[in-house]
């Protein structure tokens, strides 16, 4: 079946603009995760959803970042008033169950460049 | 806090065996994952260990010692396509906002 998809694959934006990143998880996966990966760095956890709810949003780096998930499926990550330090690859992953032993399946990522 | 340590870079020869180590200090433990990530691509799942011992899957094996907070990924008969970053990740139960803690990854270069 289809894997995790993300759009856009690349986004170049000017500093101060808002951007919206989209993630389509694997059908039936209840848990959805957002990560950020800067060049040469590990994965920085941002937020996860169990169904439509995000139990803890403290992983988001600032209040310019927000995320939502509707219908237990598609999720969007919004960054307002982008800054150059927001430049990174934003990865989305989904799994069958957050608390189980199921692995996370990653999407191809969105490469965000803030100029 | 949670801490996952891996070497930053390793180089090995095609056809050889390489062992990538991972040590962790976390507030809890509910399994350890290894992921492979080729440059410019998303991580893909390689292995999962929750009990002590060795899990073998083809050319790849993963070992876990919970008492030592230690794991390794063993790659045999190295191929050029194995050049990638290898990420160690620990599942930490009841950890609040981050159920899976990732190390920074080990960049493996396979040379002829």
Q: pLDDT tens digits, residue range A44-100?
A: 889 988 888 887 677 899 999 999 998 889 999 999 999 999 999 999 999 887 555
Alpha-carbon span B12 to A28, nearest angstrom: 40
Name the DSSP class of A86: G
Cross-chain CB nearest to A98 (options B41, B99, B105): B99
pLDDT confidence of residue B95: 58
Q: Give me the residue from B100, B103, B105 closest to A104, CB to CB.
A: B100
From the list A45, A47, A103, the residue facing B33 with the nearest CB is A103
Q: What is the mean pLDDT of residues B67-82?
A: 97
Q: How far apart are the first and last CA of chain B?
A: 40
CB-CB under 8 Å, A103 with B105: no
What is the predicted pLDDT for the residue at A45?
Answer: 87
CB contact under 8 A, A91 and B50: no
Q: What is the dihedral of CA A27, B87, B38, B62, to 10 degrees?
A: -90
Range name among A58-62, B31-35, B44-48, B51-55 with the lowest pLDDT average:
A58-62
- Least CA distance to B101: which residue of chain A? A45
Chain A environment of B92 (Cβ under 8 Å): none
pLDDT tier, B40 (very low <50, low <70, confident <90, very high otherwise):
confident
Closest CA to B50 of B29, B68, B35: B29
Name the residue in chain A with its Cα closest to that of B89: A43
B85, β-bridge pairs: B37, B107
Beta bridge partner(s), residue A63: none
Chain B interface, best mutation among A35, A43, A67, A96, by max B CB count within 10 A: A43
């Amino acid at each position: 079946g289809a894997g995790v998809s993300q759009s856009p694959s690349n986004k170049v934006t000017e500093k101060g603009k808002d951007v919206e990143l989209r993630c389509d998880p694997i059908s039936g996966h209840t848990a959805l995760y957002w990560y950020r990966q800067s060049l040469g760095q590990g994965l920085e956890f941002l937020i996860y959803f169990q169904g439509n709810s995000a139990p803890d949003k403290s992983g988001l780096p600032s209040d310019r970042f927000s995320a939502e998930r509707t219908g237990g499926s598609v999720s969007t990550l919004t960054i307002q008033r982008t800054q150059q330090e927001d430049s990174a690859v934003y990865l989305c992953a989904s799994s069958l169950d957050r608390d189980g032993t199921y692995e996370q399946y990653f999407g191809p990522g969105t490469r965000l460049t803030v100029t | 806090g949670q801490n996952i340590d891996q070497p930053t870079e390793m180089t090995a020869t095609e056809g050889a065996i390489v062992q990538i180590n991972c040590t962790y200090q976390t507030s809890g433990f509910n399994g350890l994952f290894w992921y492979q990530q080729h440059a410019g691509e998303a991580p893909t799942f390689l292995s999962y260990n929750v009990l002590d011992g060795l899990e073998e899957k083809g050319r790849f094996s993963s070992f876990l010692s919970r008492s030592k907070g230690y794991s390794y990924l063993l790659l045999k008969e190295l191929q050029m396509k194995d050049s990638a970053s290898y990420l160690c990740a620990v599942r930490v139960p009841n950890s609040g906002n981050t159920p899976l803690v990732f190390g920074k990854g080990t960049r493996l270069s396979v040379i002829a």
